Amino acid sequence: MITAFVASIAIASTGAPASSALFSATPLLLTGSIQEPKKEMTFEEEIAELRSYGKTYITGWDLADQQPDDFVLLVREYSKRVEWMKSTYSKYKSDIDAKNEKGQQIQSAAKYAATGFNNFMANAQSFAEKFSEDYAMHMKNAKDAAADAERTKTPGFYRVSFHQLERCEWMVTILVAFNGDKDETAVKCSKEIDGLQADYKKKEASLIKATARVIVDPEDKYTGGDRETHRKAILSAWKKAHPTDKVLKVAFPNAAWKMNRNSRWNSATSTWQHTDKSYLVLAVVIQKDAKTATIYPAYVNKENRTGEIIYGVDTKGSAFVNDDLPLSKVKV
**193 vs 14, which has greater pLDDT?**
193
Q: Is-contact 14 115, C-beta < 8 A?
A: yes
Q: Is the per-residue pLDDT at 28 higher than 50? A: no
Q: Considering only 101-115, 129-143, 174-188, 302-316, which range has the smallest mean pLDDT?
A: 174-188
How many of the other CB atoms lie within 10 Å of CB of 128?
A: 24
> How many CA within 13 A on the CB side of residue 137?
7
The CA-atom distances, in angstroms, between 204 and each of 158, 169, 212, 218, 244 are: 6, 20, 12, 29, 41
Q: Is the per-residue pLDDT at 19 higher than 80? A: no
**273 vs 228, which has greater pLDDT?**
228
| Single-letter amino acid, residue 129 | E
Q: Is-contact 180 32, C-beta < 8 A?
A: no
182 φ, ψ (degrees, to nearest 5) = -95, 10
* Burial track 178-203 (b if 16+ CB lie within 10 A, e otherwise): bbbeebebbeebbeebeebbeebeeb
Q: Is the per-residue pLDDT at 38 higher than 70? A: no
How far apart (Å, rounded) are the C-alpha atoms in residues 180 and 132? 18
Q: Is-contact 297 315, C-beta < 8 A?
A: yes
Question: Taking all residues of the chain, what is their mean pLDDT, rounded to a whole number?
Answer: 87
Nearest to 22 by CA among 107, 131, 102, 95: 107
Query: What residue ranges do the domains of the chain occupy?
Result: 1-212, 227-329
pLDDT band at 7 (very low <50, low <70, confident <90, very high): very low
How far apart (Å, rounded) are the C-alpha atoms in residues 109 and 50? 6
How far apart (Å, rounded) are the C-alpha atoms in residues 226 and 282? 13
Average pLDDT value for residue range 20-30:
34
How far apart (Å, rounded) are the C-alpha atoms in residues 1 and 250? 66
Can you give the pLDDT at residue 29?
A: 35
pLDDT band at 12 (very low <50, low <70, confident <90, very high): very low
Chain-centroid distance of CA 188 in Å reads 24
How far apart (Å, rounded) are the C-alpha atoms in residues 260 and 281? 13
